[in-house]
A and B are shown apart, each in its own frame.
Chain A
Amino acid sequence: IAGITQAPTSQILAAGRRMTLRCTQDMRHNAMYWYRQDLGLGLRLIHYSNTAGTTGKGEVPDGYSVSRANTDDFPLTLASAVPSQTSVYFCASSDSAGAGNEQFFGPGTRLTVL
């Protein structure tokens, strides 16, 4: 099935624990993104990757890291989770980072840090 998958769907995590959110796309898109969505705020970009092997920082990168070893996978790691990282996390991809390219979103991961 073409599209983007994310895992897990939801997770409750103790503060201080390490957590990796997984994202895989099968559309052979070059660009991938991680956003967080919080009530009353717009989607905020955490990290992005314009092509395999490269990554960049978005608006809110602190406390998060990413890697892009291949085209399909773009995992997001929280090294030591804090309650302020409680959010819904969306992974997205686009054919390229260029002007007119729409982004396709995964179903999201709902993360609660206690």
Chain B
Amino acid sequence: GQNIDQPTEMTATEGAIVQINCTYQTSGFNGLFWYQQHAGEAPTFLSYNVLDGLEEKGRFSSFLSRSKGYSYLLLKELQMKDSASYLCAVKDSNYQLIWGAGTKLIIKP
């Protein structure tokens, strides 16, 4: 079956760096997405990786290793507004997104 694993919850301190890991097993691979979802709101797109390596976008970076079925989202200079759930999703061979359950990130002052 298809499976996306990510930690349920993480806690970090304002101003620090946090890495959220995601491992996947899917039928086919057509890219990996990270979304941010604040409580009670819709998911919003953060990043997309289809080739191995690091993609940097401001304070957020996303890394992919296709051979290991592994990705991480790196958040730097954490701000209180970064408190949210972070969703990892893989586009499979049918071009459908398979979603992880999300990682709830709690930022403490």
Check B101–A103 contact: CB distance below 8 A: no
A-B contact count (CB 8 A): 46
Check B100–A42 contact: CB distance below 8 A: yes
Judge if A104 is at the interface, Cβ distance under 8 Å.
yes
Closest Cβ–Cβ distance, residue A37 to chain B (whole Å): 9
Within 8 A of A (CB), among B88-109: 89, 91, 95-102
Closest Cβ–Cβ distance, residue A112 to chain B (whole Å): 15
Residues on A with beta carbons closer than 8 Å to the beta carbon of B4: 42
Q: How many residues in B have their beta carbons less than 8 Å from beta carbons of A?
A: 22
Give 1 or 0 for each of B36-61: 1 = CB within 8 Å of chain A CB. Answer: 00000111110010100000000000
* Additional 6 contacts, C-beta under 8 A, given A99-B91, A100-B31: A42-B87, A43-B89, A45-B97, A103-B97, A106-B42, A108-B42
A-B contact pairs, 26 of them (CB 8 A): A42-B87, A42-B89, A42-B98, A42-B100, A43-B43, A43-B87, A43-B97, A43-B99, A45-B96, A48-B96, A90-B42, A97-B95, A99-B30, A99-B31, A99-B50, A99-B91, A99-B95, A100-B31, A100-B48, A102-B33, A102-B45, A102-B48, A104-B45, A105-B42, A106-B42, A108-B41
